[in-house]
Amino acid sequence: MPEPTPPQTVGPFFHPCLLRLARTVLAGPEAEGERIRLEGRVLDGDGAPVDDAMVELWQADSFGRFRHPLDDREGPRDAGFLGFGRTGTDAEGRFAFDTVKPGRVPWPGGGWQAPHVCLHVFARGLLDRLTTRCYFEDDPATAEDPLLRLVPEERRPTLIARRAAGPGAAYRFDIVLQGERETVFFDL
């Protein structure tokens, strides 16, 4: 069997190439479902903003369907929704995606996962990508999510976006690379 090619850091100079495919608005005018804004910051072990990170998002549409050959289940889907986001962080380490709230996705062997988005983080000083998930605090399914329940209870809040105050459905999700409030990252 061939051996996997190891990763290396994205470095500081990826923007002109990789941000040609930047996508921060995932939900166009035709998108079905509840429109949400997901925003946050990438922070280092000192709490300082990481201003040269890239964040990628992957999610199901509002029916819980993925735009992918493996998801060939019957049933409704939002054919125009792609579910991929990519952005660079700004000087304050901020990122934001305008999307729809994803529907529920099956759990292997039965049952359903709570709505969530999958995230990758890349940056100078990160020798490999980081993989995490973001759930929604005001969704009743979050408390019962089978993957979250595998995470030690005291660390679960790092995977849950908070509903932001003010008009519109905005959720706040910071990604903390290191330290006391370090986000849970998965070996995937």
Among 25, 144, 149, 186, contact with other proteins (rule: CB under 8 A): 186
| 21 φ/ψ angles, rounded to the nearest 5 degrees | -105, 25
Structural contact between residues 136 and 142, judged by C-beta atoms closer than 8 angstroms:
yes
Dist CA 182 CA 178 (whole Å): 5
Q: Which is nearer to other proteins, 129 or 164 (CB)?
A: 129
The Cα angle at residue 10 between residues 4 and 11, in degrees rounded to 5: 140
Binding region for other proteins (CB under 8 A) out of 47-55, 87-95, 135-143, 160-168: 47-55
Contact status: 91 vs other proteins (CB under 8 A): no
**Exposure of 116 in the CB half-sphere (CA atoms within 13 A):** 22
Residues 53-72 that bind other proteins (CB under 8 A): 56, 58-60, 66-72
Q: How far is the CB of 105 from other proteins (least distance, A)?
A: 5
Q: How many CB atoms lie within 10 A of CB 103?
A: 19
Please tell me whether residue 129 binds other proteins under the rule CB under 8 A.
yes
Of residues 24 through 43, those in contact with other proteins by CB under 8 A are none
Restricting to residues 132-171, which ones interact with other proteins according to CB under 8 A?
Answer: 133, 147, 150-151
